[in-house]
Amino acid sequence: MPEAALPVRPLSIMTIQSGTCKGGADMLAFEFFKKLKARGHRIIWACVDDCALMARAVGAGFEVFPVKRKFSLGQCLRLVRFCFEEQVAVINPHDSRGRHMAAASRALGLNSRIIFFRHCLPGPAPFLKAWLDWTSADYTIAVSNAVKRGLLAGRLPESRIGVVNGGIDIPSFEHPAPEKIELARRKYSHPGVINIGIVARFHKNSIRPGRLSAKRHEILFRALSQVSREFNLIAVGCDEDAREPLKKLAAENGLEPGRLTICGFEPDIAPFYKIFDISVLPSPAEGLGLVLAESLAAGTATIGARAGGAAEVITDDVDGFLFTPDDHEDLASKIGQLIIDPALRERFSLNGRQKVKRLFDIDKNALELEKILARVTGR
């Protein structure tokens, strides 16, 4: 896609990533700022030393500003001094620790504009998150209309909120390297059966005492325990120290051990969608659910929960299925329909690819982000 002329003078933008960068929100930030870097903006990737995207950030030409997970005023003062000396126009935090760092730095004299990205739904206390955005940010960008509605419910003024849909590099999901697809197929798929995939982070703290897990893996396990056809479930995104807890959770929810294949963190997940016949994200609390858009772009029949941003990615029974959140019987029914109906899977594949090109093209959405940055900074 040819680059349009820059509407503003190039900006110096710092994006703060204070986690390990293994989630979809982190990858979205990387893809957005890679596009802005290609358009002439200076990008400073503030991250911890074990950031999973560090090498890719350096390869994309980003400058790296090291941060620590543990909060300290000394670190905030170092940030204030750097931004003043380097004339950083925008600080863009993508997680809670980054927000706290930016807010404390503002109190210590930071004069850069602070623009938050809200990737998740505000939850049961929308007033708290809206108040944080009101007091410590100049502007908030929501990744979906569902996130924006939550912020409005918390009384954040509409004039302080913009919506930029998450985006993906569509060609990389349409046409991953054939050798990578074949490698994933040999290692993880089972020949002659339906291969069902879930791409969702699972770590040792994902199982919360007395509550369902963060991404609702157990809802998928319960649903699949009712499926009589032969299948293989490929779970992508499990931390190494969480494999046994995931196996235990599967067994407790009726999934036979031979039907579960666990894959750890993969920096390049595009080939995996190509080995899935069906892709499922059972989480009901996605601000957007970027993996759903990735799955659609790959042409994989996709199922998500009818909640949050997922309902903006999937139009039920048009380009995928939506199921009632936390209802494993409804999910089992939807999976069953896709297993027995290849024509339905193909219809969803065709419509899904068209949907992604309209709404989730990273090139188009990066331009929308750029316009907001220009407006908020007065450039």
Percent of the chain having pLDDT more than 90? Answer: 79
Same domain, 94 and 138: yes
Q: How far is Cα of residue 76 from the mean position of the Cα atoms in its chain?
A: 27
Same domain, 279 and 368: no
Same domain, 70 and 188: no
In a domain, residue 222? The reply is: yes
Same domain, 203 and 327: yes
Question: For residue 39, what is the domain's CATH number?
Answer: 3.40.50.2000
User: Mean pLDDT over residues 267-296, rounded?
Assistant: 96
The pLDDT mean for the chain works out to: 92
Same domain, 71 and 99: yes
Q: What is the pLDDT of residues 18-54, one digit of tens each?
A: 888 888 888 899 999 999 999 999 999 999 999 999 9
Range of the domain at 302: 170-359
Residue with tokens 């602070």: 114
Percent of the chain having pLDDT more than 70? Answer: 95
pLDDT of residue 20: 86
Domain count, the chain: 2
Claim: this prediction has a pTM higher than 0.85: yes
pLDDT of residue 379: 73
**2 confidence band (pLDDT: 50, 70, 90):** very low
pLDDT of residue 134: 75
Same domain, 179 and 272: yes
Same domain, 225 and 318: yes
Q: What is the pLDDT of residues 152-185, one digit of tens each?
A: 988 889 999 999 999 999 999 999 999 999 999 9
Q: What is the pLDDT of residues 110-142, one digit of tens each?
A: 999 999 988 888 766 666 667 777 778 899 999
pLDDT of residue 7: 54
In a domain, residue 7? The reply is: no
pLDDT of residue 209: 78
For 119-123, 190-194, 211-215, 299-303, which range has the lowest pLDDT when averaged over its residues?
119-123
Same domain, 159 and 21: yes
Residue 245 predicted with pLDDT over 90? yes
In a domain, residue 209? The reply is: yes
Same domain, 159 and 181: no
Same domain, 341 and 291: yes
> 196 or 2: which carries more pLDDT confidence?
196
Q: What is the pLDDT of residues 283-301, one digit of tens each?
A: 999 999 999 999 999 999 9
